[in-house]
Structure 1
Amino acid sequence: MKTTGLNFRHLYYFWVVAKEGSVTRAAERLDVAIQTISAQIALLEQSVGKALLAPQGRRLVLTEAGRIALSYADQIFLLGEQLQEVLTETDIGKTMRLTVGLSDSLPKLTASRLLETALKLPQKVKLVCHEDDFESLLGDLSVHKLDVVLTDRPVPSGTTLRVFSHLLGESDISLFGLPALAEQYRSGFPASLKGAPVLLPTRNHAVRGRIDHWFEAHDVRPDVVGEFDDNAMLNTFGRHGLGLFPASTALADAVQEEFGAVPVGELTNVHEQFYAISNERKIKHPAIEAILSASHGSVFR
Structure 2
Amino acid sequence: MHTTKEKSFILVQHVENIDMLTKATYLLLMEWLNYHHLFYFWTVAREGTVTAAAKELHVARTTITAQVRELEKSAGAKLFRKSGRYLELTEFGQHVFHYAEEIFLIGRELTDFMKTGQPGMTKKFVVGMPDVVPKLVAFELLKPAIHHPEGFQIVCYEGKLPELMADLALHRLDLIISDSVAPPTVDVKAYSHRLGECGLSFLAVPELARKHRQKFPKSLTGAPLCLPTEHTAVRRALNHWMDDNDIHPRIVAEFEDSALLKVFGQSGLGIVPIPTAIEKEVKEQYDMQLVGRLEDVVDRFFAISVEKRVHHPAVQAIVEQARSEIFEVK
Q: TM-score, normalised by structure 2?
A: 0.67
- Of the structure 1 ranges 266-275 and 153-162, higher mean CA displacement relative to structure 2 is found in 153-162
Q: Which residue of 2 aligns with 1:61?
A: none
The equivalences for 1:99-248 within 5 A come to 99-157=126-184, 159-248=186-275
Cα deviations across residues 242-264 of structure 1 (Å, max 9, x unaligned)?
Answer: 11011011211111122112211
Tell me, yes or no, if the aligned pair for 1:214 and 1:267 is still in contact at 8 Å.
no
Deviation of the 1:222 alpha carbon: 0.7
Tell me, yes or no, if the aligned pair for 2:40 and 2:64 is still in contact at 8 Å.
no
The equivalences for 1:276-295 within 5 A come to 276-295=303-322
User: How far apart are the structure 1 equivalents of 2:109 and 2:151?
Assistant: 10
The equivalences for 1:48-87 within 5 A come to 84-85=104-105, 87=107
User: How far apart are the structure 1 equivalents of 2:199 and 2:155?
Assistant: 29
Cα deviations across residues 78-137 of structure 1 (Å, max 9, x unaligned)?
Answer: x98996346545983332321001111211111110001211222211000011110000
Q: Structure 2 counterpart of 1:279, which letter?
A: V
Which of 247, 256, 262 in structure 1 is aligned with 2:289? 262
Q: Which residue of 2 aligns with 1:93?
A: 120
- Of the structure 1 ranges 259-268 and 154-163, higher mean CA displacement relative to structure 2 is found in 154-163
Q: Structure 2 counterpart of 1:285, which letter?
A: H
Percent identity reads 34
- The verdict on how the C-alpha distance between 1:42 and 1:97 changes in structure 2, with shifts beyond 3 A counting, is closer
Cα deviations across residues 157-187 of structure 1 (Å, max 9, x unaligned)?
Answer: 4653111110000011121111221111111
User: How far apart are the structure 1 equivalents of 2:104 and 2:193?
Assistant: 30
Q: Structure 1 counterpart of 2:171, which letter?
A: H
- The verdict on how the C-alpha distance between 1:86 and 1:227 changes in structure 2, with shifts beyond 3 A counting, is farther
Aligned length: 254
Deviation of the 1:267 alpha carbon: 1.9
Gaps of 5+ in 1: 20-29, 31-36, 48-67, 70-78
User: How far apart are the structure 2 equivalents of 1:45 and 1:147?
Assistant: 25
Q: Structure 2 counterpart of 1:84, which letter?
A: F
- Of the structure 1 ranges 218-227 and 158-167, higher mean CA displacement relative to structure 2 is found in 158-167
Q: Structure 1 counterpart of 2:212, which letter?
A: Y
User: How far apart are the structure 2 equivalents of 1:243 and 1:42?
Assistant: 55
Tell me, yes or no, if the aligned pair for 2:106 and 2:121 is still in contact at 8 Å.
no
SS at match of 2:163: helix
- Of the structure 1 ranges 265-274 and 142-151, higher mean CA displacement relative to structure 2 is found in 265-274
User: How far apart are the structure 2 equivalents of 1:178 and 1:239?
Assistant: 6
Q: Structure 1 counterpart of 2:180, which letter?
A: R
Q: Structure 2 counterpart of 1:216, which letter?
A: D
Tell me, yes or no, if the aligned pair for 1:148 and 1:278 is still in contact at 8 Å.
yes
- The verdict on how the C-alpha distance between 1:263 and 1:135 changes in structure 2, with shifts beyond 3 A counting, is same
- The verdict on how the C-alpha distance between 1:123 and 1:8 changes in structure 2, with shifts beyond 3 A counting, is closer
Deviation of the 1:17 alpha carbon: 9.1
Deviation of the 1:299 alpha carbon: 0.8
Which structure has the larger Rg?
2
Gaps of 5+ in 2: 1-36, 67-84, 87-98, 114-118
